[in-house]
Amino acid sequence: MKNVEITGTGRAVPSMVVTNDDLAKIVDTSDEWISTRTGIKQRFFCDKDECANSLAIEAAGKALKDSGLSPEDIGVCICATVSGDFATPSMACMVQRHLGLRENIPSFDINAACSGFLYGIEVARGLLNGTGEKHALIVGCEQLSKLMDMTDRSTCVLFGDGAGAAVITLSDEKVYASTLGTRGGYEIMAYGAGPKPSKLTMQGQDVFKFATSIIPRCIGELSEKSGLGLDDMDKVICHQANERIIDFVIRRLKADPDKFYKNMDRYGNTSAASVPIALDELVKEGDVKRGDLLMMVGFGGGLTWAGAVIRYAGRSTE
Ligand code: ACO
């Protein structure tokens, strides 16, 4: 199997900024509690004329433009989401249509919660190798605000809406590694479309313990598979659920804190969108440059986890 590298990135967020103080007007909470427990200061929620599909299409369009490719070049389109607008048509089908991608390509959604974008990369790599296509468009997009119970202060302060996207391209690049896993459980739950109203529930402390053990395990597996350690990485992008989770991992691994990117203060936890939004920010800010090596790790509902070591080979910042 050939490896893949990242050749374009993009992101989109809705227009409504919701601060911790805004939430304190709805539930019994405070900016102080949310900031110190999670690192989150604000998040974005979709307004009436915005939805998951519109975010996905915007982020995907930006990633495609950033890659310098045309719609005809894309051979696989995958959206990772737990909060799509419809059970069917899928989010990926709408991205295919609105971006004018070819009809003779697989376009479908995957659900691996917050690990979904990284699952998407590995699924796309397999499909590219199997079909002879060269480029895939992967989107992580969530409108979690519509799944949240706005009376439950233990969850409604954590999540936000947004989308991130990347184009990945088959290449002769030698460095690439991935790890994927699942441990079925009900620690994080949300009903999709159905007779019961959607309410996201989470056993926060169990998820915290899971996250702080699975991230080091993923990093260890990626290091073993790639033969490269954290010191060889230019940046590490973990799922942006909680600042304390990332700080715990940095301490446990005695890692360089500067390598671990954090942006949950501005976005909250955007589930499948969190890793690609962080990736696009790093690229657009010039903190990830062509040729840089990235380690990315996701974890979330399922329970699922995923990691990748992958090179950024985009045009943005040579
Ligand atoms: N504001 C004020 N008080 C609150 C709030 C709030 N928003 N939420 C809970 N509390 C209270 C609780 O009621 C409790 O009060 P009590 O002691 O009187 O009973 C107290 O704060 C402590 O609650 P805990 O749940 O023990 O708080 P904890 O320190 O564990 O922090 C948190 C909760 C932030 C959710 C933490 O457990 C966590 O980050 N877990 C990981 C969650 C995560 O990573 N999820 C994402 C991964 S999966 C995905 O992305 C879908």
Which pLDDT band, with edges at 50, 70 and 90, does 318 fall under? very low
Q: According to the CATH classification, is domain 1-318 in 2.40.50.100? A: no
Q: In sequence order, which residues have a C-beta less than 8 Å from that of residue 35 and are 6 or more positions away?
A: 20, 41
Whole-number mean pLDDT of the chain? Answer: 95
Query: What pLDDT, on a 0 to 100 scale, did the predictor assign at position 31?
Result: 98
Which pLDDT band, with edges at 50, 70 and 90, does 190 fall under? confident
pLDDT tens string 246-302: 999 999 999 999 999 999 999 999 999 999 999 999 999 999 999 999 999 999 999
Which pLDDT band, with edges at 50, 70 and 90, does 317 fall under? low
Percentage of the chain modeled with pLDDT above 70: 97
- Alpha-carbon distance values, 129 to 4, 71, 174, 217 (Å): 10, 19, 15, 28
Q: Where are the chain's structural domains?
A: 1-318
Mean pLDDT of 12-25: 98
Query: What pLDDT, on a 0 to 100 scale, did the predictor assign at position 316?
Result: 65
- Cβ of 37 closer than 6 Å to ligand 1, yes or no, is yes
For CA atoms 196, 197, 200, 206, give the dihedral sign.
negative
Residue 143, classed as helix, strand or coil, is strand
- How far, in Å, CA of 11 to CA of 166, rounded? 9
pLDDT tens string 117-175: 999 999 999 999 999 999 999 999 999 999 888 999 999 999 999 999 999 999 999 99
| Closest Cα to atom 38 of ligand 1 | 204
Q: Is 124 within 8 Å of 176 (Cβ atoms)? A: no
* 190 Cα to the center of ligand 1, angstroms: 17
* 203 Cα to the center of ligand 1, angstroms: 8
Which pLDDT band, with edges at 50, 70 and 90, does 47 fall under? very high
Ligand 1 atom with the smallest distance to the CA of 38 is 34
